[in-house]
A and B are shown apart, each in its own frame.
Chain A
Amino acid sequence: EDQVTQSPEALRLQEGESSSLNCSYTVSGLRGLFWYRQDPGKGPEFLFTLYSAGEEKEKERLKATLTKKESFLHITAPKPEDSATYLCAVQIAGNMLTFGGGTRLMVKP
């Protein structure tokens, strides 16, 4: 059965303290891996798509990487406004996305 697991479930960082979020997957025929950010009371907001092992993408303080079994979302020198839930999802058949449980990130000033 296809599975997407995110860790940790919650992460508290001090402002400026870099860290990484993990998304491990067990799927056959990965077409793409997606990262989203979700703020309270809002819908998930698209961040990145990764298609093949070794690929990396960056946006401001965020960098996403992909291997054959997992993806990492690296956060460099985070700020309080980076606090949110980060979701990863895998695309297998068609355009459907299967989501992990998310990581709640809290960055304290």
Chain B
Amino acid sequence: DAGVIQSPRHEVTEMGQEVTLRCKPISGHNSLFWYRQTMMRGLELLIYFNNNVPIDDSGMPEDRFSAKMPNASFSTLKIQPSEPRDSAVYFCASSQNTEAFFGQGTRLTVV
């Protein structure tokens, strides 16, 4: 398996624009996570899906953030409208009940 695949690797956008981050989890994994990493706050869990159903989205910072998982092999994290404080590295991870495996991340810069 190629591991967790995220796209794009880098995204630079202007404040107010919509940003969509994409993730393909490892085949057969039943859980998918979106994390955000910054120097100040470290790794924060944004949302957690189990069997494609959102289980906990308490980490989603605002209504500007939304996540979907239409099927077992694809998930998106959308920010609309984006703000400079959203600049961070966003990671997607998947697991099969035990350890989580992370993608390479998307570095988002909002200017």
The number of chain A residues with a CB under 8 A from chain B is 20
Q: When A46-B99, A46-B100 are in contact, do A99 and B48 touch as well, CB less than 8 Å?
A: no
Q: Is A87 an interface residue (CB 8 A)?
A: yes
Q: When A87-B43, A102-B42 are in contact, do A95 and B48 touch as well, CB less than 8 Å?
A: yes
Distance from A5 Cβ to chain B, minimum over Cβ atoms (Å): 11
CA distance A82 to B94 in the complex (A): 25
The number of chain B residues with a CB under 8 A from chain A is 23
Distance from A100 Cβ to chain B, minimum over Cβ atoms (Å): 7
Residues of chain A lying within 8 A (CB to CB) of residue B101: 46
CA distance A96 to B47 in the complex (A): 9
Q: Is A45 an interface residue (CB 8 A)?
A: yes
Chain B residue nearest to A101 (CB atoms) is B42
Evaluate contact between A94 and B43: CB separation under 8 angstroms: no
Evaluate contact between B100 and A95: CB separation under 8 angstroms: yes
CA distance A32 to B56 in the complex (A): 19
17 A-B residue contacts at CB 8 Å?
A32-B98, A34-B99, A34-B100, A36-B102, A42-B105, A43-B93, A45-B102, A46-B101, A49-B98, A94-B31, A94-B48, A95-B33, A96-B33, A97-B33, A97-B100, A99-B42, A101-B42
Distance from A74 Cβ to chain B, minimum over Cβ atoms (Å): 20
Chain B residue nearest to A48 (CB atoms) is B99
Distance from B94 Cβ to chain A, minimum over Cβ atoms (Å): 10
Q: Is B55 an interface residue (CB 8 A)?
A: yes
CA distance A64 to B34 in the complex (A): 26
Residues of chain B lying within 8 A (CB to CB) of residue A49: 98-99
Chain A contacts with B in 69-109, Cβ cutoff 8 A: 87, 94-102
Give the residue of B42, B102, B103 whose beta carbon is less than 8 angstroms from that of A100.
B42
